Structure 1
Amino acid sequence: AGELGGEVVYEGTYRGLLKAKNSLTARYLNGEMEIRVPQKRRKSGKEKIAITGARENNLKNVSVDIPLGMLVCVTGVSGSGKSTLIHDVLYAGIKKMRGEWTGHVGLFKEIAGTENIDDVILVDQSPIGRTPRSNPVTYIKAYDAIRDVFAGTQGAKAKGYGPSHFSFNVPGGRCEVCQGSGTVTVEMQFLADVELTCEDCRGTRFKQEVLGIRYKGKNIHEALELTVSEAILFFKDVKKLVTKLRVLDAVGLGYLRLGQSATTLSGGEAQRVKLASHLAQSTASRTLFIFDEPTTGLHFDDINKLLGAFRALLDNGSSIVVIEHNIDVIKTADHLIDLGPEGGVGGGEVVATGTPEKVADCDASHTGRYLAEVLG
């Protein structure tokens, strides 16, 4: 992906693709690589979140336990009630109980066990920022280390430049014409606004004198043009920074440029940047993370990396609830909650719960039928 992508690695028939040596897709399709079923699943302990009497939308007085410290997948056909149960009841309900929610909350009788978690976080695909000044390294709080590196150079010390001179969020070293955005917006009265490259800084975001400061031959603009993978090597001596950049790489975002505008990121990329920011927090956490179809649009290899990131969160003491249709994720879960049996008025009931193997044995579960095929 990114700098290492942009080439056609195969074109032809499906059978031919299976034999393509340079194709990562082929390696997953022909079985050379795979998303494996875990040899051992986490067992549920005493701690859980118990939802009683959920009746929002098509939910039919649903009562279900969500074991903590595990990867829990909520499955079912479209319209079976998954988002209603997790977004409107579980997430909104807990937030409301904590005084952190003013929006609509789905109907339910009780949510018990919230004392077992410190926080609940919905990691969705909404943008990580709405201005060009927001980027992956500012979001994961890695940019402070980059600014410190440049402020520590002999050139910066000689001119009296501190870390703030290498920020595009505050006056000092940034270009004041575009205020550190690198672009200026031209308002068109009856048409959409037009964004143009700033003529003063030519898109570099900084004043010329600040761009004269170099670290290992690169100025701050050139450093922000590095991809995450390139930056890990370039800043290899700055351990605090490299540790955070490795997390971005671990969730499959090694191809992003450090200073890439948040407005250019896809929903899936934004979601993985958010995941990386939580992984970068090394302190133990009793946080309940909620993901809604995080594998949408992801390649097999990206899904494998995402599952690795999930394991890291769990090892850190967190709990994860994922709304998912992807069978490769479902088969790796520790616990499933399968809703249905159908969508709309034909759904809203708990069809089966338990390990993927247990759900695979349930004749009434559509998910179970497909699980039975992959679990053998």
Structure 2
Amino acid sequence: MEDSRDAGTGRGHWITVGKAATNNLREVSVRIPKGALTVFTGVSGSGKSSLALDTVAAEAQRLVNDSYPAFVRNRLPHAHRPDVQTIDGLTFTVLIDQRRFAGNARSTVATATDIAPLLRLVFSRVGEPSAGHSPAYSFNDPSGMCPRCEGLGVVQDVDVDAMLDLDKSIDEGPVLFPVFRPGTYRWKRFAYSGLFDRAKPLRDYTAQEMHDFLYAEGMKPPDPDPRFPRTARFDGVVTRMRDAFIRRPPTSMSKETEQALHRVVTAQRCPRCRGRRLNEAALASLIDGRSIADWTALPVDRLHDVVAGLREPRVAPALAEARRRLEALRSVGLGYLSLDRVSSTLSGGEAQRVKIIRYLGSPLSSVTYVFDEPSSGLHPHDVRRLTELLLRLRAAANTVLVVEHHPQVVMLADHVVDLGPGAGEDGGRILYEGTPDGLLQTGGPTARALREPVTPRTAIRPDRGHVMIRDAREHNLRGIDVAVPLERLTAVTGVAGSGKSSLITGELPRQHPGFTVVGQEALRGGGRSTPLSQLGLAERVRQVFAAASGLAPAWFSFNSKGACPVCKGRGFITTDLAFLDDVATPCEECEGARFNPRALAVRVGGASIADVLAASPGALAELFAGHADIVARLGWMRRVGLGYLAVGQPLDTLSGGEKQRLLLARHLGDVGRGHGQRIVLDEPTTGLHGSDVDRLLALFDELVDDGATLVVVEHDLRVVAHADHVIDIGPGAGDDGGRVVFQGPPAELAAADTFTGEALAALSRR
């Protein structure tokens, strides 16, 4: 007799998706087995994330949210309905992506993992002398925080010497900070206060005048200029800076203001708590000679042993749960972290693994867990631990969906869905569904990348000299000296937390400023910034349209005169339905084009400005073939593997790896490819398929052959094998790392007794 769960769609055993068209998907239909580990793979931009994350996970989370009352639903993240005709068999779904933790200085590894409340409870019951209840041990609570730094561990203040030009008068603009330039409203406050001689240089001010100019607070000027607001009070420059940029920093600011702020605001370790964030009472409460700050400063590996060695019946449940969570951190390869590490400083891969531990050992079953490239940032040695975690989640009667490129993860799967064949408009189709062994028999790019062995380079480029990193001690580095070859491709590798990034993105550019670091830092601009603007081409394209029309360039910006008057250049209208979800619909006035009719009426080569933003770099290069500067920069975008993106795609829709490669394209567009470039890349293959990695390596070869020096912090063994020189840092992470365990060509590394050497040897035998 047929199982009733299998009637109709078979929803008891399958998640079924019918005609999904989210992003670049081409009406994809697929069945995903429940209770299994399914890997979605394909070249970068093929649509795998669109299917697993933006369709399956998004619809499941939207439906769960819809089950709550409207009052609750309005306070949950709003998930938009994906473009899919039918979807069935969904379960409660958890999405574990690589978004870094928000830049909140009050969030640490301890708070992000919910270990902090457990430790506070232990100290409130066992610590001697007791500081009070649990909040008395929290740097986020007034009863526990250091009163000097308010629990931040650092104190910030204005560097007056860096901010003032004492030889200038008020009329000349003596405050070297953008918001105090002559003519700004803040400048008018002290210029029209009547308190100062506007023509006198600051150097000639009396002590009282200088004090008022800098530190006055709420002063009522006795004889102000008529242009001074009648009810206003005068605050000094430093007082205003502290209030507007230190105590309550703005949520957004221009790049110029941000750079100026870094120059004039200094941060130092709090002298009262010595960076430990807590007040005297909390720090004086000890267990076996250690305070709670001492506990959280220990690496997780050592803290686990400390907690395991404490036998105290009064807090036995809290200790047991703390041990379980610490063990979970160790099991995901994060034993080198300390609990006082600010969570926003974690990499995307580290943040993802911190999120994973919340679900290990959960009593929930029949949950769907969706992972977005969990191997990113992981050494092959650490990927083994990751695969064990995925199998543990599956073994607890859960469904595990993973978007992934790493061969170890792909070959571990019960079921593989391969998308492609290409990226963007050339992708969005199902190429293969089935077992990993069956995938190997196909002829697609994923199968080729999995089958081909990785062969270490033997034709090493000639010696062109080197630069020395001396006595490197940042973070866990052990005072090491390292030679970095010039005009070669150098790969720096090691397990996560070994110290490779501290050495190459920290010490190298600090000791040798000629190296430019292209990392994965956030790109500003959000939905109103695009690859075109990041490449520095947006204004150039506007000038071409302006020359063709006689209009000002601002008419071809959706952030200025060219914006659609209805949607204000956003392309859609958001309707606030109070306690119901907001509804975003395409703007009927511009039909999503973002521009007004006057801007859209102008054509260059038959294309409107909206057509330009919808074009790929290749198509746009053809359109602007007569403009060599535009074509050259678009060429770099294609060369770094971003040819599938639309140049007008909102920046906040790009992945971390895509943003880094866009930064690289921008840098190469600025400096070209000539002799003498020295570039540091921090894991540039993040999110790249094996075939895309090969394309990026071809670009690296061209740059180095033209005389550039490339130093790449990387785990991908294709990059390691392709390098001229490898620097392997380790042997382990945290206190067990920070040393050079190998230097030399990749062929010799494959024979070395290191984690990287073992992984490279295994892959070259494939």
- Give TM class, smaller chain: 0.7 to 0.9
Give the Cα–Cα distance (whole angstroms) in 1 for the partners of residues 577 and 678 of structure 2: 45
CA contact (8 A) 2:456 2:746 kept: no
SS in 2 for 1:74: strand
After TM superposition, the score normalised by the length of structure 1 is 0.80
CA 1:237/1:190 → structure 2, altered by over 3 Å: closer, same or farther?
Answer: same
Is residue 2 of structure 1 aligned with residue 391 of structure 2?
A: no
Partner-residue secondary structure (3-state), 1:345: helix
8 Å contact from structure 1 (residues 73, 337) kept in 2: yes
Distance in 1 between residues matched to 2:471 and 2:581, nearest whole Å = 48
Provide the residue aligned with 1:218 in structure 2: 607
User: RMSD in angstroms over aligned alpha carbons?
Assistant: 3.0
Tell me, in whole angstroms, the C-alpha distance in 2 between the residues paired with 1:318 and 1:211. 43
How far apart, in 2, do the equivalents of 1:191 and 1:85 lie? 50
Change (3 A) 1:283 1:329: closer
Note the C-alpha offset of 1:237: 4.5
Tell me, yes or no, if structure 1 residue 323 matches structure 2 residue 702.
no
Q: Is the 8 A contact 1:279 1:313 kept in 2?
A: no
Whether contact under 8 Å (2:520, 2:657) holds in the other structure is yes
Q: Indicate how the Cα distance of structure 1 residues 71 and 194 shifts in structure 2: closer, same or farther if over 3 A, else same.
A: farther
Residue 27, structure 1, aligned to residue 464, structure 2 = no
Q: How far did 1:345 drift?
A: 2.2
> Does the 8 Å CA contact 1:37/1:331 hold for their aligned counterparts?
yes
* 1:151-190 correspondence to structure 2 within 5 Å: 151-153=546-548, 156=549, 160-169=550-559, 171-175=560-564, 180-182=569-571
Distance in 1, Cα, partners of 2:598 & 2:569: 15
Q: Report if the CA contact (8 A) 1:35-1:300 is conserved.
A: no
**1:254 aligns to what?**
643
Aligned partner of 2:439 in structure 1 is: 17
Q: What SS does the corresponding residue of 2:664 show, helix, strand or coil? A: helix
Q: Which residue of 2 aligns with 1:131?
A: 526
Asked whether the 8 Å contact 1:129–1:135 carries over to 2, the reply is no
Which whole-Å CA distance do the structure 2 matches of 1:123 and 1:68 have between them?
A: 18
- One-letter amino acid of the counterpart of residue 523, structure 2: I
Does the Cα contact within 8 Å between 1:127 and 1:262 map onto a contact in 2?
A: no
Aligned AA (1:26): A
Q: Which residue of 2 aligns with 1:101?
A: none
Equivalent position of 2:462 in the other structure: 43
Change in CA separation of 1:186 and 1:270 when aligned onto 2, cut-off 3 Å: farther
Question: TM-score when scaled to structure 2?
Answer: 0.41
Q: SS of the counterpart of 2:490?
A: strand
Distance 1:60 1:140, change over 3 A: same
AA in 1 matched with 2:450: L
For 1:188 and 1:120, how far apart are their aligned partners in 2? 52
Query: 2:517 maps to which residue?
Result: 122
Amino acid at match of 1:75: T
**For residue 66 of structure 1, what is the aligned residue in structure 2?**
484
| Gap change, CA 1:58 and 1:210, over 3 Å in 2 | closer
Paired position in structure 2 for 1:104: none
CA contact (8 A) 1:362 1:368 kept: yes
Which residue pairs with 1:206 in the alignment? 595
CA deviation digits over 1:107-155, x for unaligned, max 9?
xxxx4xx3xx6x33221223333232311112112334432443343xx
- The answer to whether the Cα contact below 8 Å between 1:361 and 1:368 also exists between their aligned partners in 2 is yes
Equivalent residue, structure 2, for 1:107: none
CA distance in 2 between counterparts of 1:319 and 1:179 reads 45
One-letter amino acid matched to 2:430: V
Deviation per CA, 1:42-78: give whole Å up to 9, x if none.
2332231x12222333322211111222211111122
Contact 1:279 1:309 in 2 (8 A): no
Which residue of 1 is the match for residue 660 of structure 2?
A: 271
C-alpha deviation, 1:333, in angstroms: 0.9
Q: Which has the larger radius of gyration?
A: 2
Map of 1:286 onto structure 2: 676
- Which one-letter code corresponds to 2:438 in the other structure? G
CA contact (8 A) 1:357 1:375 kept: no
Higher mean C-alpha deviation, range 338-347 or range 252-261: 338-347
Deviations 1:205-254 (A, max 9, x none): 32211111123333111221122233334444444323322221122111
Q: Distance in 2 between matches of 1:13 and 1:130?
A: 42
Are the counterparts in 1 of residues 495 and 733 from structure 2 also a CA contact under 8 Å?
yes
Alpha-carbon separation, structure 2, partners of 1:316 and 1:197: 47
Write the letter of the residue equivalent to 2:445. L
How far apart, CA to CA, are the structure 1 residues paired with 2:584 and 2:516?
34
| Conserved 8 A contact 1:52-1:62 | yes
Secondary structure, aligned partner of 1:331:
helix
Quick one: distance in 1 between partners of 2:612 and 2:630? Answer: 13
Question: Is the counterpart of residue 341 in structure 1 residue 731 in structure 2?
Answer: yes
Aligned match for 2:505, one of 50, 75, 87: 87
Counterpart of 1:125 in structure 2: which amino acid?
Answer: Q
**1:272: how far off?**
0.8
- Post-superposition offset of 1:334: 1.2
Instruction: Give the equivalent residue in structure 2 for 1:147.
Output: 542
Q: For 1:300, which of 664, 687, 690 is the aligned residue?
A: 690
Q: 1:249 to 1:368 in 2, by over 3 A?
A: same
In the TM superposition, residue 340 of structure 1 has moved relative to its aligned partner by 1.4
Kindly provide the amino acid, as one letter, of the partner of residue 446 in structure 2: T
User: 1:192, 1:51 → 2: CA distance?
Assistant: 55
**Structure 1 residue identity aligned to 2:441:** K
SS of aligned partner of 2:612: helix
* Whole-angstrom CA distance in 1 between matches of 2:668 and 2:619: 20
State the match for 1:76 in structure 2: 494
For residue 18 of structure 1, what is the amino acid of its counterpart? L
* DSSP-derived class of the 1:8 partner: strand
* Contact kept in structure 2, 1:180 and 1:205, CA below 8 Å: yes
Bigger relative contact order, structure 1 or 2 (CA pairs below 8 A, ≥6 apart): 1
Q: State the alpha-carbon separation in 2 of the partners of residues 270 and 121 from structure 1.
A: 16
Distance 1:188 1:280, change over 3 A: farther
**What's the counterpart of residue 97 of structure 1?**
none
Aligned in 2, Cα 1:227/1:77: closer, same or farther, shift over 3 Å?
A: same
Counterpart amino acid of 1:262?
A: L
After TM superposition, give the deviation of residue 276 of structure 1 in Å. Answer: 1.2
Query: Post-superposition shift, 1:313?
Result: 3.1
What letter is aligned with 2:674?
A
Q: Quote the Cα distance in structure 2 between the aligned partners of 1:55 and 1:248.
A: 36
In 2, distance between residues paired with 1:312 and 1:128?
27
Cα deviation 1:160-192 (Å, max 9, x = unaligned)? 3143422334x4333456554445778999999
Q: What is the alpha-carbon distance in structure 1 between the residues aligned to residue 729 and residue 455 of structure 2?
A: 25
